[in-house]
Structure 1
Amino acid sequence: MGTIVVLGIGNVLWADEGFGVRCVEALQQRWAFEGGEPVQLVDGGTQGLYLIQHVQAATKLLIFDAIDYGLEPGTLKLIEDDAVPRFMGAKKMSLHQTGFQEVLMLAQLTEKFPERVLLIGCQPQEIEDFGGSLRPAVRTALEDALALGVDRLRAWGAKPVPRLAPPGGDEAVTVRTLAIEGYEAGRPSAAQACRIGDERFLLQP
């Protein structure tokens, strides 16, 4: 038996850029994996080359990420296997994607590339909102992305079952302070904390 790695990448501090991380977080909150091929969930954040060990260890790799396809916000697109590194290189949206393309290419170079790879990407609506969260269209798409991901995990030999209790603090894939519930509850409104700069310095004389 191999190892299935589910990797969410992105930056939760920049609105829809956090889509991939929020997918992995929600997957862990709702599903446990009992029997079948082992599944490792990874909050990849913006770690770039530090993710190489996870990619090289994977027999099958499922990636969630926000990808700028130039489509309607919330649109999902699936890319598979050898097309994934080429696609991510052509569609860079942020620095973390540049780093992750290098991870995939390094895994190929070292001949430790997963047998199967699936990228579930979502068209973001807004990323230029520091401290913002997922926009409604992307939050809705997250549900469809999770359903697609769980179906693929089953097809790959994993056995997801609905989780009866939330994971313990030590198990949580996302740092507690950045988990979406705490993040939303502690985030000041845009009126209280301007996210585009202080208007006193933006106004022209």
Structure 2
Amino acid sequence: MKILVLGVGNILFGDEGIGVHLCNYFKVNYKLYTQHQVDFIDGGTLAQSLIPIIVEYDEVLILDCVSVDGAKVGDVYHFSFTQIPNVITWAGSAHEVEMLQTLRLVEAMGDLPPVYIVGIVPYIIGEDTTFMLSQGILQGVKVMEQVILDFFKKHEIKYEKIKNIDLQVIANHSFRGVDDL
């Protein structure tokens, strides 16, 4: 089985890059032991450009931020793409809407593998660029990490935490790659 862990988001806008940062966090801090092929990919804000990649996998785990009416920064939601909760609005940023449209397009083509989404409510910073993550995100990401580890367990993927590099440090390096951390 080929599993894609796809980090989505704009790393230039703080919390909105959390999907990419968390994907990188797992690449750097965890070692996986499995018979499955598990690939961690920084999808950034590529949306429809990711279609040829997405369709090559048997299952996709998307890490992203989500917009939820009435939620607070750092609240975590996880769900199957086929069962998106009504509270998810996908209106927080352009990349969220584009990713939703991309998944719907692949679904309409009949090529969408099972997709599971782990999302967190970000602090929206507007037009100022920053790599700094909000305290709400840094707290909520602990829940996201556990949800991802539970996903691995469900798929009989064993893991070992081999490093403990802080998520903010990873966010500070995401633009140039984290392979040297």
Question: Which TM class, normalised by the smaller chain length?
Answer: 0.7 to 0.9
Please show how residues 16-31 of structure 1 align to structure 2 within 5 Å. Answer: 16-31=15-30
Please tell me whether the aligned partners of residues 11 and 175 of structure 2 are also in contact (alpha carbons under 8 angstroms).
no
* Unmatched 5+ stretches in structure 1: 167-173, 183-205
Gaps in structure 2 of 5+ consecutive residues:
166-172
CA distance in 1, matches of 2:75, 2:85: 20
Tell me the secondary structure at the aligned position of residue 6 of structure 1: strand
**CA distance in 2: counterparts of 1:50 and 1:110, whole angstroms:** 15
Q: In the alignment, is the contact (CA less than 8 A) between 1:55 and 1:104 conserved in 2?
A: no
1:25 Cα shift? 0.8
CA distance in 2, matches of 1:69, 1:165: 30
* Residue matched to 1:191: none
Q: Deviations over 1:10-60 (max 9, x none)?
A: 111111101111110111111122222110101110011111122212211
1:51-109 per-position Cα deviation (integer Å, ceiling 9, x unaligned): 11222122111111111213011010112131349987x42222212221222122212
Query: Aligned to 2:147, what secondary structure does the other structure show?
Result: helix
Q: Percent identity?
A: 22
Q: Give the deviation of 1:176 after TM superposition.
A: 5.7
Residue equivalent to 2:79? 79
2:85, 2:48 → 1: CA distance? 14
Letter in 2 for 1:127: I
Match of 2:135 in 1: 136
TM-score after normalising by structure 2 = 0.82
Q: Secondary structure at the match of 1:93?
A: coil
> Are the structure 2 counterparts of residues 69 and 121 from structure 1 closer, same or farther at C-alpha, using a change threshold of 3 Å?
same
- Partners of 2:90 and 2:97 within 8 A in 1: no
Cα deviation 1:138-186 (Å, max 9, x = unaligned) = 01211221121011122123232333699xxxxxxx856265xx9xxxx
1:84–1:117 Cα contact (<8 Å) kept: no
Relative to the length of structure 1, the TM-score reads 0.73
Q: 1:86 to 1:40 in 2, by over 3 A?
A: farther
Q: Quick one: structure 1 residues 96 and 19, their matched pair in 2 at CA, closer, same or farther if it must change by over 3 Å?
A: same
**Aligned Cα root-mean-square deviation (Å):** 2.7
Structure 2 distance, partners of 1:17, 1:148, is 19
Structure-2 residue corresponding to 1:63: 62
Residue 49 of structure 1 is matched in structure 2 by 48
Could you say which residue in structure 1 is the equivalent of 2:110?
111
Q: For 1:65 and 1:56, how far apart are their aligned partners in 2?
A: 19
| Structure 1 residues 176 and 94, CA gap change in structure 2 (3 angstroms) | closer
Give 1:152's aligned amino acid. F
Q: What amino acid does structure 2 have at the position aligned with 1:121?
A: G
Task: Decide whether the 8 Å contact of 1:13 with 1:133 is kept in 2.
Answer: no
